[in-house]
Amino acid sequence: MTEWNPWHGCHKFSAGCLNCYMFRRDEQIGLDCNIIRQTKSFNLPLMKNKNKQYKITSLDDPVYVCLTSDFFIEEADQWREAVWDIIRSRSDLHFKIITKRIHRLMECIPYDWDDGYENVTIICTCENQQTADERLPVFLSLPIAHREIIHEPMLESIEISDYLSGGGIEAVTCGGESGSRARICDYSWILNTREQCIANNVSFYFKQTGANFRKDGRVFHIERKLQMPQALKAGINFHSTIQSSQVNNKYDTIFRRIEASEFRSSFKLDEKDIKYIDDKGMDIIRRHAFDFIRQRLAPAFLKNDGKQTPMRGHPVFKAQHATATCCRNCMKKWHGIPVGTALREDDINFAVNLIMEWIERQRKNNSSLKTNIE
């Protein structure tokens, strides 16, 4: 994860903003948080190191934009087009934009937005039932490729099943409020949202407990450094397996062809691999896949082509052999991607998405097998 703040400063907008961490932080150093200003990191995704390589790579994904402001705040209208240009040019990165001002999206999109950029996820904040009912109907009506909801700070139990049932939301994240004045976050609210997500096959993530966390009627005061680890320790995250029929059909066709190979079909993820994936999380595994493809397959000329991908040692290695993305000759034979030229961004994304789809199907098969045995 990387944080990119092209501008800084905001205005309190709704109930969730009451104890905003950024206002507290700016007050401590004598800054007026209500003044919106461009930052020195404005061009961060374009910055390069001394080797002329981008400082931010796919290993740093996802890139969270404007965590010290709101991407759609009015004062940033003069700078936003330049930021869209940067996002468009870095199609190898995935940008996540969290906003309370979803009503402004259509005023702020770039000329070529169409149904949304594939490398952008828009995340709508809904801290209570009122904001959910105000924002989510608007959110679901907009042309966006990837949508998520976040309840943070979560101020009460929130019913969103009706908004999840249509299939337009990919994930929901919940989290409590931090800081000395933090309001209560109740575990039952978190679990209620999780149940709604599972019922609608939408991914669910419990991000942090908050400073004042209530469970079974007892309030726990939790240090800032422990709020995320304690949430992770709860072990209640849920990963959806839903995909569109179009995407499924595309992958089904590829897998049917590849699995006809006795060699390709011999690769399976074992329990150790599954545990590694569950411990790391699919976002981290995706980063590893991008890294392996970029470093070992993307260059035009590879002295060790055919030998650069081990047979084991990482789930992605097994996935590469299973999907014929292990070397350039295999990619040419099975996917028609030519050798002798550097992989395009589209080729890299294709390989990584294919790898991740195979891994997800292996996880699902492993889970089904366990259920049948039990």
* Domains of the chain, earliest start first: 2-233 (3.20.20), 245-373 (no CATH)
Lowest model confidence (mean pLDDT) among 47-56, 237-246, 305-314: 237-246
Q: Which tens digit of pLDDT belongs to each residue from 272-323?
A: 999 999 998 988 999 899 999 988 999 988 888 989 999 989 999 999 999 9
Q: What is the pLDDT of residue 18?
A: 93
Contacting residues for 36 by C-beta, under 8 A, at least 6 apart: 7, 8, 9, 10, 69, 73, 75, 76
| Average pLDDT score over the chain | 91
Residue 252 has pLDDT above 90, yes or no: no
Q: What is the pLDDT of residue 372?
A: 46
Q: How confident is the model at residue 241 (pLDDT cuts 50, 70, 90)?
A: low
> Locate tokens 């028609």: which residue?
336
Q: What is the pLDDT of residue 242?
A: 59
Write down the pTM of the prediction.
Answer: 0.67
Q: What is the pLDDT of residue 257?
A: 84
Residue 12 has pLDDT above 80, yes or no: yes
Residue 142 to residues 102, 103, 172, Cα–Cα distance (Å): 9, 9, 18
Give the residue, 319 or 363, on which the prediction is more confident: 319
Collapsed DSSP state (helix, strand, coil) of residue 305: coil
Give the residue, 366 or 48, on which the prediction is more confident: 48
Read off the pLDDT of each residue in 262-281 and give the average, rounded to a whole number. 92
Q: What is the pLDDT of residue 268?
A: 94
Q: What is the pLDDT of residue 255?
A: 86
Give the residue, 177 or 253, on which the prediction is more confident: 177
Distance CA 356, CA 350 (A): 10
C-alpha 290: how far from its chain's center? 14
Q: Provide φ and ψ at 148, rounded to 5°.
A: -135, 160
Q: Name residue 37's beta-bridge partners.
A: 8
Q: What is the pLDDT of residue 248?
A: 54
